[in-house]
């Protein structure tokens, strides 16, 4: 059974890529979708909720990287699931602009090359390009906050009255340690720094990161404490 995080937000378990969140209430919506190999986890999670992939209304991607949108093209083609992503990431998502290249360690490069058939990026159609300040009629109203750096169109989703923040890869919480976006996959550290500072100015209690464990209370203060202590890259570069 997917893990219940709030009354209408669930975490689909056993994802190999990003965290996959399911929002109920106004239809069924996924926030991020993991790697292509995470499709069975989505099927299983929906089935355990008494639903099927054809019941999905929308997939909102926090950015276009393959570990967040891997199954989207297949779900869109087979079940006509609508998709939403920031307008600056849309050209990458639909294949008009090539996937960005990154410098990675040789060992990781060999790993990714060997498993490329499982991770291969599949472009998809963007049904709803998102902009800063847009609202999604989900979880009582999710505001789109543009937080570039990791990608040009990275976003967070914010529910102000409930203090909920979906942070994508801008803020991660792997092994219980808050971190900024992964340096090796973040081409614009200066923009990422500004995005972290931007998020530090809003109030939130619940952090739902793209990777790592959710924090269901006191997340905003914990985040700001990490900033004050100089623990979050790329703010440590300034």
Per-residue pLDDT reduced to its tens digit, 172-212: 999 889 999 999 889 999 999 999 999 999 999 999 999 99
Average pLDDT, the chain: 91
Q: Write out the H or E segment, with its range, that includes residue 226.
A: helix 219-228
169 contacts 63 by C-beta, under 8 angstroms = yes
Query: Of 39, 41, 37, 47, nearest to 13 (Cα)?
Result: 41
90 φ, ψ (degrees, to nearest 5): -60, -40
* CATH number for position 156: 3.60.15.10
Query: Of 76, 98, 102, 78, nearest to 186 (Cα)?
Result: 102
Span 74-89, pLDDT tens digits = 999 999 999 999 999 9
Average confidence (pLDDT) over 144-162: 98
- Cα angle: 153, vertex 171, 224; to 5 degrees: 120
Structural domain range at position 124: 3-237
Confidence of residue 109 (pLDDT cuts 50, 70, 90): very low
Q: How many domains does the chain have?
A: 1
Reported for 137-145, long-range contacts at CB under 8 A and 24+ positions apart, including other chains, are: 137/26, 138/23, 138/25, 138/26, 138/29, 138/60, 139/6, 139/8, 139/9, 139/23, 139/25, 139/164, 142/166, 144/86, 145/198, 145/199, 145/202
> Both tokens of residue 207?
């952090």
Other CB atoms closer than 10 Å to residue 215's CB: what's the count?
21
Least confident of 42-46, 112-116, 132-136: 112-116
Alpha-helical runs (H) found in 70-218 = 72-79, 90-93, 106-114, 116-119, 189-200
Indicate if the pLDDT at residue 103 is higher than 50: yes
> Both tokens of residue 189?
């550290």
Full-model pTM: 0.94
């Amino acid at each position: 059974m997917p893990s219940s995080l709030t009354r209408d937000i669930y975490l689909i378990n056993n994802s190999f890529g990003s965290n996959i969140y399911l929002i109920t209430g106004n239809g069924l919506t996924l926030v991020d979708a993991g790697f292509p190999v995470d499709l069975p986890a989505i099927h299983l999670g929906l089935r355990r909720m008494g639903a099927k992939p054809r019941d999905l209304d929308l997939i909102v991607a926090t950015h276009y990287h393959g570990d967040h949108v891997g199954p989207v093209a297949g779900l869109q083609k087979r079940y006509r699931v609508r998709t939403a992503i920031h307008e600056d990431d849309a050209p990458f998502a639909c294949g008009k602009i090539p996937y960005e290249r990154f410098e990675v360690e040789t060992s990781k490069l060999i790993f990714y090359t060997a498993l490329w058939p499982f991770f291969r990026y599949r472009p998809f159609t963007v049904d709803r390009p998102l902009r800063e300040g847009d609202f999604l009629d989900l979880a009582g109203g999710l505001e789109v906050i543009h937080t570039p750096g990791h990608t040009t169109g990275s976003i967070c989703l914010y529910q102000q009255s409930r203090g909920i923040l979906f942070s994508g890869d801008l803020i991660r919480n792997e092994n219980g340690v808050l971190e900024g976006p992964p340096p090796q996959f973040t081409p614009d550290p200066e923009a990422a720094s500004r995005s972290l500072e931007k998020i530090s100015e809003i109030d939130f209690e619940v952090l739902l990161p793209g990777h790592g464990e959710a924090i269901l209370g006191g997340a905003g203060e914990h985040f700001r404490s990490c900033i004050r202590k100089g623990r979050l890259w790329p703010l440590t570069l300034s």
